[in-house]
Amino acid sequence: MKTYGIVGKNISYSLSPCMHNAAFKMLGMDAEYKIFDIPENKLDDFFSRLRKGEISGCNVTIPYKEKALDYIDKPDNMVKAVGALNTVVNKNGVLEGHNTDFEGFINALTGSAEGDLNFEPGGRSVFVFGAGGAAKTVVFSLLKWSPKAVKKIAITDIDINKAKRLANFVEKQDHSTLITVVGDREQYNDFISKSDLLVNATPCGMKADDPPLFDYRYIHERLFVFDLVYARNTPLVKETRLRGAKAINGLNMLLDQAAEAFECYWVESAEHHDKILTAMKKALIENIKLIGL
């Protein structure tokens, strides 16, 4: 039996095993997907097991998405740009690093399936709340989107220095997109009114009593909203829809990054993409209910 898994710290809540194990089962594969919840001093050991083939592939999550770069031989282009990965595969002794969060975000943003936003980013203006790991993926996905990148990105975070660091990191690599840091809540209305897309890349909305990110009266009908929180339709998603604008949660992104990672593990499975997504979605929804997120 082949072993796969997700490596991170304090990740007992992870929904990745339910999705991947459902896909293995549906395809009749002799494989299992486990949680490797380990401290940093056990990472050497974990990746040496991966290199020896005891573990065939893994997803990487908080807080090791950047640290894992030290262990791989071949990063893909997105990993090189973002400086973070979420999937490692052992291909004949070579450890390949991938970033499928990128595809997960772009597919849900631009796709037209149920739960996708059907938004075309080229030449548009975007306001991103949050400047952590997920925001970094969002910003780079928007910049690297082909055929045409977004025109403007505004970033804000509770910790404004974090937003500034992300903006500086992006500006070093990209010169065609205007990056602005929004440090003052008073400016939110102005920026939202000029935005085509608003992305929530903060955990705000995960808990029922979270205060709103901004005054929902600023939402206008042309605005598309992508809330990365996947466990529920947050008040942001609901309020946007109530105002006649389009909004999605992070469920399709989560599913898509998992399906893309699965196809990195087992390239031949790409021909079963739709069946894999369906099996993963069913398992994910059942488990979200089960753990009562």
Looking at this protein, which amino acid is placed at residue 60?
V
Site string for ligand NAP, 263-292 (x = CB under 6 A): ------------------------------
Note if 164 is an active site residue. no
Residue count of the chain: 293
Q: Work out how close the CB of 213 gets to ligand NAP at its nearest, in angstroms, rounded to a whole number.
A: 5
Q: Looking at 12-20, 150-158, 166-174, 182-190, which segment touches ligand NAP (CB under 6 A)? A: 150-158
Task: CB nearer to ligand NAP: give 162 or 282.
Answer: 162
Q: In the complex with ligand NAP, which residue's Cβ is closer, 186 or 221? A: 186
Task: Single out the segment in contact with ligand NAP by CB under 6 A; choices: 22-30, 188-196, 197-205, 280-288.
Answer: 197-205
Is residue 78 part of the contact set for ligand NAP (CB under 6 A)? no
* Other C-beta atoms lying within 10 Å of the C-beta of residue 38: 15
| Of 3 and 110, CB closest to ligand NAP | 110
What is the DSSP code string of 192-243?
Answer: HHT-SEEEE-SSTTSSTTPPPSS-GGG--TT-EEEE---SS--HHHHHHHHT
- Any contact of residue 134 with ligand NAP (CB under 6 A)? yes
Nearest to 66 by CA among 34, 97, 89: 97
Asked if residues 46 and 52 have their Cβ atoms less than 8 Å apart, the reply is no
Closest CA to 90 of 66, 54, 124: 54
Q: Which of 71, 191, 230, 262 binds ligand NAP (CB under 6 A)?
A: 230
Number of residues that bind ligand NAP (CB under 6 A): 28
State the catalytic residue, choosing from 25, 65, 151, 172. 65
Residues 6+ apart with CB under 8 A from 50: 56, 57, 58, 71, 88, 90, 95
Selected binder of ligand NAP within 5, 8, 104, 235 (CB under 6 A): 104
Per CB under 6 A, 162 contacts ligand NAP: yes
Taking each helix axis from N to C end, the angle separating 251-265 and 273-291, rounded to the nearest 10 degrees, works out to: 130
> Distance between the two ends of the chain, CA-based, in angstroms?
32
Task: Find the binding residues for ligand NAP in span 240-259 (CB under 6 A).
Answer: 250, 253-254, 257
What 3-state class would DSSP assign to 179? strand
Q: Per the structure block, which two tokens stand in for 79?
A: 């990993």
By the rule CB under 6 A, 206 interacts with ligand NAP:
yes
The catalytic site residues sit at 65
Q: Which residues bind ligand NAP (CB under 6 A)?
A: 62, 101, 104, 129-135, 156-159, 162, 201-204, 206, 213, 228-230, 250, 253-254, 257
